[in-house]
Amino acid sequence: MAPNFYAGLLMMIHQNKEIYDIALSSPYNRLSPLFGMSGSLPPDVITFGPDATCTLDTCPIEWTVYGYRPSLAANITFMVLFGLGGVLHAILGFRWKTWWFMSCMIVCSINACIGYGGRVWLYYEPFSFDAFLMQMICITIGPVWYCAATYVILGQTTTYFAPSLSRVKPIFFYFGFVTCDIISLALQAAGGAMSSTSSGSSHIGIDLALAGLAFQVATIVTFCSFLLDFIIRYFRSPQGRKAVTTIGPRLKIFFGFMFLAMLLTVVRSVYRLVELHEGYSGELIREEGLFIGLEGVLVVVSFYCLSIGHPGLVFKKSTKGSLEAGSENDVEL
């Protein structure tokens, strides 16, 4: 998710006090009882934005965007898991010389650590606008990095094993899906910019941002379809049966965990799409349990799936030499 989208949306809410008051006065908003039936904030109190005046000492936790202090234990756990996962991918990357894949996974690890570090910051300063932006942006864009790595992997996989069994040319996985990711991010950035310049008076900006996220979900679903189709066709083919005999269970582990990682990412992305559709005054954003389970857990499991099913287990000299006589070249991912 582009940073401009979140910055624009947050500034939209902060700058347009009238819209903010309407949201607070809604009978579906949990903050309404705190401010009375008028839905107005107390004088000189700013709960949200770069100029927020609230602290834990002066304002109740219910006045924050989330309505809770993020779990310290859960977010530190995610930081540790992503940090260890990044180290693991670095070791595997150097071991198997999968430079592209390793780079994407390490960036994903660092990005996630920063994001969950922002939620730890929010535990201590829940009204901090910088902490909110830091965790929202980094956590939201996290899967983009390992999705980019996986898109390239499938292109390499079809070229490496059986390009004739792929319904599209392998080069499409390099450029087609990466381009789709860029388009989705551009839509979200444009939506954020429009929301910011219009001070929230135009709904087109938010609609563009939602369209960008929906397009991203559609891209991942399409990729999963191509991946599953290739897996089925390959294992039914003579080449696939030979590869299973030659490589052993590593091949099924590689394909299985790659597909599982992307499937879990689809579930996670649908959840974030629904959350964004409700907005910052919706119910989902205030449910920390759902966030931990459908964001944190699913992404960290996907991250480790791509270490268990690491491409280096099958993309190596001995494997290629066994499948194609006379070939001694490694494939660099």
Q: What is the DSSP string of 180-249?
A: HHHHHHHHHHHHHHHHHHTTT--SHHHHHHHHHHHHHHHHHHHHHHHHHHHHHHHHHSHHHHHHHHHHTH
For residue range 216-238, what is the model confidence (pLDDT) as tens digits? 889 999 999 999 999 999 999 99
pLDDT of residue 1: 44
Is residue 333, in this structure, part of any structural domain at all? no
> pTM score, two decimals?
0.81
pLDDT at residue 30, rounded to an integer:
43
Residue 331 is assigned to a structural domain of this protein? no
**pLDDT over 80 at 168, yes or no:** yes
Residue that wins the pLDDT comparison between 2 and 85: 85
Is residue 332, in this structure, part of any structural domain at all? no
Burial 83-114 (b: 16+ CB within 10 A, else e): eebbebbeebbeebebebbbbbbbbbbebbbb
Residue 329 lies in a domain: no
Give the tens place of pLDDT for each residue, 26-43.
333 444 434 433 445 676
Q: Is the pLDDT of residue 2 over 50?
A: no
Q: Look up residue 42 and give its DSSP letter.
A: P
Q: For 282-310, what is each residue's pLDDT tens digit?
A: 889 899 999 999 999 999 999 999 999 99
* 192 within domain boundaries: yes
Q: What is the pLDDT of residues 9-28, one digit of tens each?
A: 444 444 444 434 434 443 33
**Enclosing domain of residue 187:** 3-323
- Residue with tokens 């954003």, as numbered in its chain: 285
Percent of the chain with pLDDT over 90: 42
Q: Length of the chain in residues, anyone? A: 333
**Structural domain tally of the chain?**
1
